[in-house]
Each structure stands twice: as structure tokens, then as C-alpha cells.
């Protein structure tokens, strides 16, 4: 199993957060933590960063855990 960098705001973390909040998967990450530094969008991400984003997204989707909005 691949081990991903789970730092706050990184690609893996953002993928998991997008799934948690039931947002569409749109790869991105932040350079200095969520909403801090520069937002890096998919067109500027490496293939490994995109893979990490989707790994975080897919792992959370598999868990079935999502924010309860009610």
C-alpha cells in the first residue's frame, strides 16, 4: 500500500476533505496548509500529487464517512 503525505492542506488531505464534505473531486492543494499559501490547481500538479489527491478522496469514499449536514 502506498503511503501518502497526510499534511494538512496537501493533496491527500484535500482529497479526503472534498469527499467528507461531498464535494466533486477537483484536484488541488495548498502550499502552507488549508487556505494558506498558494492554492495549486490540477493543471499545476504533478501526476503523483494528483494520485495522492484521488487516494485521499477514494479512501474517504470507501469509508462512507461524510459530514452530517442536519
Q: Which pLDDT tens digit goes with each residue over 21-59?
A: 999 999 999 999 999 999 999 999 999 999 999 999 999
- Please tell me the predicted confidence (pLDDT) of residue 30: 98
Q: Is the pLDDT of residue 70 over 90?
A: no
Query: CB 20: neighbour CB atoms within 10 A?
Result: 16
The rounded distance, in Å, linking the Cα atoms of 29 and 42 is 9
- Please tell me the predicted confidence (pLDDT) of residue 24: 98
- Please tell me the predicted confidence (pLDDT) of residue 38: 98
What SS3 class is residue 29?
strand
This prediction has a pTM of 0.94
Amino acid at each position: 500500500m502506498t503511503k501518502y503525505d497526510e499534511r494538512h492542506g496537501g493533496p491527500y488531505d484535500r482529497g479526503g476533505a472534498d469527499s467528507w464534505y461531498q464535494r466533486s473531486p477537483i484536484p488541488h492543494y495548498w502550499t502552507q496548509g488549508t487556505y494558506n499559501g498558494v492554492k495549486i490547481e490540477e493543471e499545476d500538479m504533478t501526476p503523483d500529487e494528483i494520485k495522492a489527491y484521488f487516494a485521499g478522496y477514494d479512501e474517504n469514499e470507501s469509508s462512507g464517512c461524510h459530514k452530517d449536514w442536519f
